[in-house]
A and B are shown apart, each in its own frame.
Chain A
């Protein structure tokens, strides 16, 4: 199975080198930095507080950049093969289905994380944040974690729902990761966004005031957030693998 997974990674990596996909990668890597540069060029130095800059950078790089990249890469993992009628060839290999899922997961994660790390460096450089290298390092770490977690989530959505999987993923992102994660209640702890935001606040020592802010930015130690993200990703991937193994995907009907 691992050999087959490596083959998928190799093949899918080659497919990332087309002009269209390289352009998309450059867009995701450079556009957040461009936005930050334009913003800072319009205001005086230190006009924006450091905490606000950190949060803006986080949302630009992690919550928008990474998630957009993964929506495009991870969600259609199965749907694209079904649409291109190549699914049956992969499914005819003994470990083809599982290798496809794991391989596409790895490639989606690497592709998005690499764009996100470049983006993190660019945004930090343009942000006038007091400690730009620290901001870049924290954002890069969060990009890696976001890529690993959200790629698993979007792969699961793509495996569970073939028709309009990307729309389902966008709706899920907006409602759960967008709205629910900002609700100051226990339920927001089940979102990836809550954990990432809490790590950002912890690592950049963003000072927060009030119980509501604590509920939104988290008060648990960093290791708890890291373990939660690891458990979350593992569970989501296992469910996706189980669905992949047991579900009957639509194949050609009788002509």
Chain B
């Protein structure tokens, strides 16, 4: 049986009196995961713990079965593309990536070959001999990614890789990461751009305030939310009578009208039953619907709900 990708047992990390991450308990099998949370949620601290840059204040971290602080040889199986910018202005991408690969113990010839291959695979063939100081942000991102993949790691960790990329760059990076996953390799992709993560991987860790709110694939995350109320907006005529009938329904938890009586804002705990009920009411001409708006079913909607539940607003 293969070792898990990550094992975190009661892991907390404090910065003096501030909690970076708190009581993380996770065991993730090999695979690709999106680490999603707003800025300042603890994603980078999570990555720093996983890569051994930080020691946990409490608890135990294992990556590919090893302690990344003490058993540092595991780092040769990990590639990290951090969020911070690359500031080596006078060195070319090829020289720098070759240096980075050489530090892994590859011979000069092999390091050069791997550096070239990884840069070419990321579309840097024409620019890899120019100084990094002359690069666009997108080129620097690709250079950072090249050093992370050139030693063929088992696990690739990317921290906010889409930052500063133009739409073409984002698309190219997404395609690259999809191929990476298709090859059966492992990935942890930290980002606050939900739809881009959702397009790459179907398994998520939702992190906020240093705590993992939920983990699993999109369907599992949504099933966790089944008990939480969802906001739905209904627009049309005849909504007052419809609203009175809703009060007796078990899946209904609150309502309010908008500025006019043509906009009804509802809070429901079971969207499916609500939609069936609404459809029946529309068929019987009790209401004349012009629009129904609800969370789009994307991860963003689920994440919003989780945050509300976490804050005790559910």
Q: What are 12 residue pairs bridging A and B, where the CB atoms are less than 8 Å apart in the complex?
A: A3-B105, A88-B80, A90-B103, A92-B78, A92-B80, A93-B103, A94-B74, A96-B75, A254-B20, A254-B39, A254-B45, A255-B160
B47 to nearest A CB, angstroms?
Answer: 9
Which residues 94-126 of B sit at the A interface, judged by CB distance below 8 A?
Answer: 95, 99-100, 102-105
Q: Is the C-beta of A66 less than 8 angstroms from some C-beta in chain B?
A: no
Q: How far is the CA of A15 from the CA of B53 in the complex (A)?
A: 26
Within 8 A of B (CB), among A6-37: 7-8, 10-11, 14-15, 18
Size of A's binding interface in residues, CB under 8 A:
28
Complex contact A254–B43 (CB within 8 A): yes
Whether the pair B83, A255 counts as a contact (CB closer than 8 A) is: yes
Give complex CA distance A85, B91 in Å. 15
Render B143-173 as a binary contact track against A, CB cut-off 8 A, 1 for contact.
0000100000000000110000000000000
Assess the A4–B55 pair: CB atoms within 8 A.
no
Report chain A residues within 8 Å CB of B229: none
Pick the residue among A10, A18, A86 that contacts B88 (CB under 8 A). Answer: A86
Measured between alpha carbons, how far is A89 from B82 in the docked complex, in Å? 8
Q: Which of B55, B82, B95, B147 contacts A14 (CB 8 A)?
A: B95
Contact B84 A94 (CB under 8 A): no
The A94-120 residues at the B interface (CB cut-off 8 A) are: 94-96, 99
Tell me, rounded to whole Å, the shortest Cβ–Cβ distance linking B75 to chain A.
Answer: 5
Contact of B102 with A252 in the complex, beta carbons under 8 Å? no
Q: Of B41, B75, B84, B86, which is within 8 A of A254 by CB?
A: B41
Question: Within 8 Å of chain A (Cβ to Cβ): is B44?
Answer: yes
Q: Tell me which residues across on chain B come within 8 A of A86, comparing CB atoms.
A: 86-88
Does B309 reach chain A (CB closer than 8 Å)?
Answer: no
A92 near B75: Cβ-Cβ < 8 Å: yes
CB neighbours (8 Å) of A14 from chain B are: 95
**Are A89 and B76 interface neighbours, CB within 8 A?**
no
**Which residue on chain B has the smallest CB distance to residue A254?**
B44
Distance (Å) between the CB of A247 and the closest chain B CB?
11
CB of A252 within 8 A of CB of B83, answer yes
**Closest-CB distance, A102 to chain B (whole angstroms):** 12
Least CB distance, B217 to chain A, in whole angstroms: 25
Q: Report the minimum CB–CB distance from A42 to chain B (whole Å).
A: 42
Q: Is A251 at the interface (CB under 8 A from chain B)?
A: yes
Q: Quick one: which of B41-79 are within 8 Å of A by CB?
A: 41-45, 48, 51, 53-55, 72-76, 78
B87 near A85: Cβ-Cβ < 8 Å = yes
Beta-carbon contact of A252 and B86 below 8 Å: no
Q: A84-B87, A84-B88, A91-B53 are in contact. Are A255 and B40 (CB under 8 A)?
A: yes
CB–CB A4/B103 < 8 A:
yes
Interface string of A227-255 (1 = CB under 8 A from B): 00000000000000000000010011111
Q: Which of B39, B53, B75 contacts A251 (CB 8 A)?
A: B53
Tell whether, in the assembled complex, residue B82 and residue A88 are in contact, meaning their CB atoms are under 8 Å apart. Answer: yes
**Which residues of B lie under 8 Å from residue A95 when comparing CB positions?**
72, 103
Question: Which single member of B73, B80, B147 contacts A94 (CB below 8 Å)?
Answer: B73
The distance in angstroms between the C-alpha atoms of A94 and B88, with both chains bound, is 21
Select from chain B the residue with minimum beta-carbon distance to A12: B99
Q: Kindly count the residue-residue contacts between A and B in the assembled complex, taking CB atoms under 8 Å apart.
A: 87
Q: What is B's interface to A at a CB cutoff of 8 Å?
A: 20, 39-45, 48, 51, 53-55, 72-76, 78, 80, 82-88, 90-91, 95, 99-100, 102-105, 147, 159-160
Would A96 and B103 be within 8 Å (CB), given that A84-B88, A88-B82 are in contact? yes
Inter-chain pairs besides A15-B90, A18-B90, A255-B160, 10 sampled, C-beta below 8 Å: A4-B105, A7-B102, A84-B87, A85-B86, A89-B82, A94-B74, A95-B103, A252-B84, A252-B159, A254-B20
Q: Nearest residue in A to B207 (C-beta to C-beta)?
A: A254
Closest-by-CB residue of A relative to B144 is: A89
What is the bound-complex CA distance between A153 and B241, given in angstroms? 84
A-side contacts of B74, CB under 8 Å: 94
Contact A7 B103, beta carbon cutoff 8 Å: yes
Whether A93 touches B54, Cβ cut-off 8 Å, given contacts A3-B105, A15-B90, is no
A88 and B53 in contact (CB under 8 A), knowing A93-B75, A94-B76?
A: yes
**How many angstroms between the C-alpha atoms of A252 and B15 in the bound complex?**
13
Q: In the complex, how many angstroms separate the beta carbon of A24 from the nearest chain B beta carbon?
A: 15
Measured in the bound complex, the distance between the Cα atoms of B100 and A96 in whole Å is 9
Residues of A within 8 A of B90 (CB): 15, 18
- Which among B39, B53, B83, B99 is the interface contact of A248 at CB below 8 angstroms? B53
B102 touches A94 (CB 8 A): no
How far is B91's CA from A88's CA once the two chains are assembled, in angstroms?
Answer: 17
Task: State how many angstroms separate the Cβ of A187 from the closest Cβ of chain B.
Answer: 37
Q: Are A251 and B100 in contact (CB under 8 A)?
A: no
Residue of A nearest to B48 (CB): A251
Q: How far is the CA of A88 from the CA of B78 in the complex (A)?
A: 13
Docked Cα-Cα span, A254 to B42, in Å, equals 6
Complexed CA–CA distance, A252 and B95 (Å)? 24
- A180-212 interface code vs B (CB 8 A; 1 in, 0 out): 000000000000000000000000000000000
Which residue of the partner chain B has the closest CB to A255? B39
| Docked CA distance A15–B99 (Å) | 12
Q: Contact at B75–A94, with CB atoms within 8 Å?
A: yes
Contacts of A94 in B (CB 8 A): 72-76, 104-105
